[in-house]
């Protein structure tokens, strides 16, 4: 479900500060009666094919919910890496095919841990088999939406296209696209839209 709220702009008030922690987690801090109110913003990776299948359109400033998992960071750019400081075990979710995955929680964000069990990696939305329908959702406000373009190359043996490491280009948009131009066939250079990065403010 998507709920419209007023978009929150980057702070211009001198009493507010923007802090980039580990190049991944943004905090808006405002001084109020000697207390600091920190609202973390996390980058969420959304696959184009999954969103076209199961996603609901939304815009910057909308309240949205995602079932999240942590992916190993190795094949992703550093800007997507997160370290969930202070994350604590929050039970487990039973998988449809058997077995279970440990859950981690930090504040209002809840995520299925990867095989390592570590509270670090890339936050990824999964609505297509990796997580069960019973997976708790993380709800927040979409502070930013960006579409990711990736350069592709042919595999040395075969006709499949594979992404070129480090070639992702992020383009900000005001709302999610109606569709993605995923196919690199016939393009020069051969690029395709692989998905989105949604920066989610979790109150």
Q: Are 33 and 27 in contact (CB under 8 A)?
A: no
For residue 123, which of 113, 131, 132 has the smallest C-alpha distance?
113
Q: How far is CA 64 from CA 2, 4, 32, 44, in A?
A: 5, 9, 27, 12
Contact 200, 65 (CB under 8 A): no
Each residue of 8-28: pLDDT tens digit?
333 333 333 333 333 333 333
- pLDDT per residue as tens digits for the range 28-60: 333 333 344 457 999 999 999 999 988 899 999
**Higher local confidence (pLDDT), 196 or 203:** 196
Looking only at the bridges linking them, the beta strands covering 35-47 and 191-201 are: antiparallel
- pLDDT tens-digit map of 130-144: 898 899 999 999 999
Residue 61 — pLDDT band, cuts 50, 70, 90? very high
CB count within 10 Å of CB 58 equals 18
Q: Residue ranges of the domains in the chain? A: 3-201
Specify the pLDDT at position 38.
59
Give, in degrees to the nearest 5, the angle at Cα 194 between 156 and 133. Answer: 115
Query: Of 41-55, 102-116, 158-172, 173-187, where does mean pLDDT reach its minimum?
Result: 158-172
pLDDT for residue 3 is more than 80: no
Give pLDDT, residue 16.
Answer: 34
165 pLDDT above the threshold of 90: no
- State the pLDDT at residue 107: 93
Is the pTM above the cut of 0.85?
Answer: no
């Amino acid at each position: 479900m998507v709920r419209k709220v007023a978009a929150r702009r980057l702070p211009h008030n001198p009493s507010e500060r923007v802090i980039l922690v580990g190049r991944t987690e943004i905090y808006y801090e405002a001084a109020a009666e000697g207390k600091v109110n920190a609202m973390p913003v996390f980058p969420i990776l959304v696959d184009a094919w999954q969103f076209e299948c199961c996603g609901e359109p939304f815009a910057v400033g909308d309240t949205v919910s995602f079932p999240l998992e942590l992916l190993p960071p190795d094949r992703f750019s550093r800007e997507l890496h997160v370290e969930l400081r202070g994350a604590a075990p929050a039970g487990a979710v039973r998988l449809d095919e058997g077995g279970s995955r440990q859950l981690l929680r930090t504040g209002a964000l809840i995520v299925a841990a990867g095989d390592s069990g570590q509270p670090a990696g890339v936050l990824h939305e999964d609505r297509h088999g990796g997580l069960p329908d019973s997976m708790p959702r993380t709800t927040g406000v979409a502070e930013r939406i960006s579409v990711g373009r990736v350069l592709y190359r042919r595999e040395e043996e075969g006709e499949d296209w594979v992404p070129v490491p480090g070639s992702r280009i992020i383009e900000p948009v005001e709302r999610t696209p109606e569709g993605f131009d995923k196919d690199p066939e016939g393009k020069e250079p051969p690029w395709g839209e692989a998905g989105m990065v949604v920066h989610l403010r979790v109150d």
